[in-house]
Amino acid sequence: MSKKGNWIPMDKNLIQEFATINREFSLIEAMFSYSVDRDKKVVGSIAGYAKQWNWTRNRVRRFLENINSANGHLADRKRTGSGHPIQFIDGGLWSKSDRERTGSGQGADPTNKPSNPKPKERDNTFLPYLESKLTNGFKPYKEKIIEFYNYRMNKPKAKQYQTEVGINGLFRDITACQKQNLPINTCLDIAMEKNWQAPLPKYYKDMNLEQQPETIRVECPNDSV
């Protein structure tokens, strides 16, 4: 095993043995097959790998997406509950020390990460955009809408607002609640309590929520009686 991380060198000529496999490829066999193709600059298709590995296309698609992501493919998820991350290591990132020893080399393992990386600060990129839409009929709910925005942004990255389209979707849902005479602040509170992604009107169908009349304060000059 390399001092650089969790990888071992394997002879690419072993791929010749795969020609006789007439069963479903194991994860290791699929990984080796894919790695050899990448090393040869071969761009395989999902359909091609599905036929070669005797996998379904959906399984191939998930594998390729995961293996090229920052998190890698989680093997043995069903057995361990969490899985073991396996990443594709690009042969183009070879290190000089390994090249001198093996003749070709292998880069430092990108999976060999610090156990406690510095946490990233929350991205509030879309907060100004959200605030720009808090006009007219949305003003009475400004504080609650911003609270819901922060609630979403405290979730894992995949569940955060990442585009203006997502912000527009929030206001579309709020507008739909308004049209059904649902109390907006209450709907947002319930969505956060139940860990929902959005305040969709259909979620409140059986809750018998009643719109409370809003009290509008109007200041007038004192009149003498």
72: closest CA among 44, 34, 110? Answer: 110
Whether 53 contacts 67, CB under 8 Å: no
Cut 0.85: pTM above it: no
Shortest CA distance to 66 belongs to which of 39, 47, 88? Answer: 88
Q: What would the pLDDT profile of 76-120 be if each residue is shown by its tens digit?
A: 444 445 555 566 555 544 344 444 444 444 444 455 555 555 555
pLDDT tens, position by position, 24-81: 988 888 888 888 888 777 777 888 889 888 999 888 888 888 777 655 555 544 444 5
**Mean pLDDT, rounded, of the chain:** 74
Q: Decide if pLDDT at 5 tops 60.
A: no
The SS3 assignment for 86 reads strand
* pLDDT over 60 (residue 137): yes
17 vs 170: CA distance, rounded Å: 54
Domain boundaries, the chain: 12-102, 127-204
